[in-house]
């Protein structure tokens, strides 16, 4: 499959790279890292990165504005996006050929060529692997590619903390830091938080609820977010905070937005992406998201999560 993707890259003069909505560092890292590799390797080709920009990730990359016409006869590559409906910039199917590169479970195998590796910590890790594999056939690398891919790996592994971090992840990261970029700057920009978010974090730590079977939850209403002056997208950054609570197996944040309540699920063992799918979502086995439409429904999610944790404990 990788061979076919490389052939497509050689063949097309215009390559447009997409990623998922609500981007994270791996979305930007894999998208931008691949773009930098392709620009470095094929200076004569037109390489674009598109999507709605996320202000807090401007430090990683600024994206291109392109006309619909640019898609004529183009190769479109989508990074880090499990389902077609989560692809940012709906024009992804206007090109001549569509490629999916991702590390989430392949529930929606959209595209003419699909390369999915669920053992990879991140799509950024896959992009670096791709470069290594085709380096001998002409792929080039750069400091900027290294910075982006490193940021993506760090983001998706929670700074090499999550179980998705493998020997390969460490070894690639070890190679990436040999390039010329400031790790300190990457970390500072990725992890510094606005004061109001830090204060909301205090609220999270004071107000989470412990349920049966090692489940914890926290509900954030629109009023609460307004009081703290925090956007829902910023609030969801705090979900990992409950991972340190003793005895917790899985936990969930409910964050109220204009027209829905976003559900952020995390786990230390019980597989939760099936539950997420039941509530219009999906994701990784241990980190997933969904959407619900009432606070009543949030209680159903909590009950389901308790049940998952009970089954998990029995199986253990």
The residue among 154 and 309 lying less far from Mn ion, judged by its C-beta, is 154
The residue among 54 and 156 lying less far from Mn ion, judged by its C-beta, is 156
| DSSP 8-state class, residue 63 | P
Q: Which two tokens stand for residue 302?
A: 């909590």
Closest CA to 217 of 107, 292, 124, 130: 292
Which residue in the shown chain puts its C-beta closest to Mn ion?
26
The residue among 116 and 238 lying less far from Mn ion, judged by its C-beta, is 116
Cβ atoms of 242 and 216 closer than 8 Å: yes
Q: Of the ranges 20-28, 163-171, 191-199, 297-305, which one interacts with Mn ion (CB under 5 A)?
A: 20-28
Cβ atoms of 281 and 293 closer than 8 Å: no
Helix (H) or strand (E) run with residue 17 in it: strand 14-18
Residue ranges in 102-161 that form contacts with Mn ion under rule CB under 5 A: 122-123, 156
Residue ranges in 76-105 that form contacts with Mn ion under rule CB under 5 A: 80
Q: Of the ranges 14-22, 75-83, 219-227, 301-309, which one interacts with Mn ion (CB under 5 A)?
A: 75-83
The residue among 122 and 234 lying less far from Mn ion, judged by its C-beta, is 122
Q: How far is the CB of 54 from Mn ion (least distance, A)?
A: 14
Q: Of the ranges 21-29, 56-64, 190-198, 239-247, which one interacts with Mn ion (CB under 5 A)?
A: 21-29
Beta strands in 23-133 (DSSP E): 46-49, 75-79, 97-102, 113-116
Q: Applying CB under 5 A, does 54 fall inside the site for Mn ion?
A: no
121 burial (CB, 10 Å; 0-12 / 13-18 / 19+) is: buried
The residue among 123 and 169 lying less far from Mn ion, judged by its C-beta, is 123
Q: Which two tokens stand for residue 199?
A: 């204060």
The residue among 26 and 144 lying less far from Mn ion, judged by its C-beta, is 26
Which residues on neighbouring strands pair with residue 220, listed in sequence order? Answer: 255
Q: How far is the CB of 207 from Mn ion (least distance, A)?
A: 29
Q: Applying CB under 5 A, does 26 fall inside the site for Mn ion?
A: yes
Q: Applying CB under 5 A, does 256 fall inside the site for Mn ion?
A: no
d(CA 315, CA 307): 12
Closest CA to 228 of 206, 209, 259, 261: 206
The residue among 156 and 306 lying less far from Mn ion, judged by its C-beta, is 156
Q: How far is the CB of 272 from Mn ion (least distance, A)?
A: 16
d(CA 151, CA 129): 15
- Residues of the shown chain interacting with Mn ion in the complex, contacts defined by CB under 5 A: 26, 80, 122-123, 156
């Amino acid at each position: 499959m990788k061979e076919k993707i490389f052939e497509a890259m050689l063949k097309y003069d215009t390559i447009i790279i997409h990623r998922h909505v609500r981007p994270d560092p791996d979305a930007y890292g894999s998208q931008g890292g691949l773009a930098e590799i392709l620009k470095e390797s094929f200076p004569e080709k037109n390489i674009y990165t598109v999507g709605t920009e996320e202000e807090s990730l401007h430090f990683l990359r600024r994206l291109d504005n392109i006309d619909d016409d640019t898609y004529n006869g183009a190769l479109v590559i989508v990074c880090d996006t499990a389902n077609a409906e989560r692809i940012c910039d709906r024009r992804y199917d206007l090109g001549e050929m569509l490629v999916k590169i991702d590390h989430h479970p392949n529930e929606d195998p959209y595209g003419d060529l699909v390369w999915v590796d669920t053992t990879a910590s991140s799509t950024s890790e896959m992009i670096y692997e791709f470069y290594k594999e085709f380096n001998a056939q002409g792929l080039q690398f750069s400091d900027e590619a290294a910075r982006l891919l490193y940021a993506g790996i760090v983001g998706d592994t929670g700074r090499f903390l999550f179980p998705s971090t493998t020997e390969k992840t460490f070894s690639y990261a070890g190679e990436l830091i040999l390039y010329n970029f400031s790790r300190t700057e990457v970390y500072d920009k990725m992890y510094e938080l606005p004061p109001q978010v830090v204060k909301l974090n205090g609220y999270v730590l004071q107000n989470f609820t412990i349920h049966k079977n090692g489940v914890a939850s926290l509900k954030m209403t629109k009023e609460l977010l307004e009081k703290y002056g925090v956007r829902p997208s910023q609030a969801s950054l705090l979900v990992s905070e409950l991972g340190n609570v003793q005895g917790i197996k899985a936990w969930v944040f409910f964050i109220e937005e204009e027209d829905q309540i976003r559900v952020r699920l995390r786990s230390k063992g019980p597989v939760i992406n099936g539950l997420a799918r039941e509530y219009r979502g999906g994701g990784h086995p241990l980190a997933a998201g969904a959407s619900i439409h009432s606070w009543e429904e949030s209680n159903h999610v909590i009950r389901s999560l308790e049940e998952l944790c009970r089954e998990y404990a029995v199986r253990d």
